[in-house]
Amino acid sequence: MHKHLRNAAITLGGTLLSSIAIAAPEQQAAAFMDIYSSHCLKYLHDFDGLRKHLSTTPQLPAEKAAMFLQGAKGNAWVVPSQHGQFVLVVHQDKNLCALYAKTVPADATKALFEKAMSKPPAPFASERKRNTADKGPDGVKSTVAYEWSNGQSPRKPLFALTVTTSKSSVAQGVATAAIGH
């Protein structure tokens, strides 16, 4: 399963951006999805390899990383991009990778995420586990989640995205990748 998931991440990263005509607002969404697939998806079964890959990337100090880790043990890195401010978080005690975007267009990001996660490469099948939208006083918060399975393993990858149109939110986009049971 590890090999299939890694190949799926490489396929998504390589074809997702090349198949999309990128306009200005969509560049942030495309950069977000590219970072997500080349880090969280590609290294989902090899977080030590991800940490090694990130060894030359600036790491956030513990007090700043704590905001993203939300009480969990782990590390957070600033991922350089000309298209926005992104922070990648890898938890120490659980198989979870998260990517935060300070600003990202909600609709474009959700559309790219849905396109990538709803139609995984073979041998995976995808099932939507969540699709919610809540309107608040300062914007709409949407969450969508997909689980991939291949019939060979009880441990299934789970991918989730939460986006908001709120201008006051710490992060307008958060995508996670985890191994479920």
Residue 15 has pLDDT above 50, yes or no: no
Q: How confident is the model at residue 11 (pLDDT cuts 50, 70, 90)?
A: very low
Average pLDDT of the chain is: 85
Domain that includes residue 7, residue range? 2-179
Across 72-93, average pLDDT: 91
Residue 13 has pLDDT above 50, yes or no: no
State the Cα–Cα distance between residues 165 and 67, nearest whole angstrom: 20
Output the pLDDT for position 3: 53
Segment 88-132, tens digit of pLDDT: 999 988 889 999 999 999 999 999 999 999 998 888 899 999 999
Segment 55-67, tens digit of pLDDT: 988 899 999 999 9
Segment 40-54, tens digit of pLDDT: 999 998 988 999 999
Across 11-37, average pLDDT: 66
Across 67-82, average pLDDT: 91
> Would you say the C-alpha torsion 144, 145, 148, 151 has a positive or negative sign?
negative
Total count of domains within the chain: 1
Helix (H, G, I), strand (E, B) or coil at 50: helix
More reliable by pLDDT, 12 or 58: 58
The region, left, alpha or beta by phi > 0 then psi within -120 to 50, assigned to residue 159 is beta
Output the pLDDT for position 62: 92
Do residues 42 and 10 touch, judged by C-beta distance below 8 A? yes
Output the pLDDT for position 19: 38
Q: How confident is the model at residue 12 (pLDDT cuts 50, 70, 90)?
A: very low
Q: How confident is the model at residue 22 (pLDDT cuts 50, 70, 90)?
A: very low
Q: What is the full DSSP assignment across 55-111? A: TTSPBPPHHHHHHHHTT--EEEEEE--TT--EEEEEESSSSEEEEEESS--HHHHHH
Residue 134 has pLDDT above 70, yes or no: yes
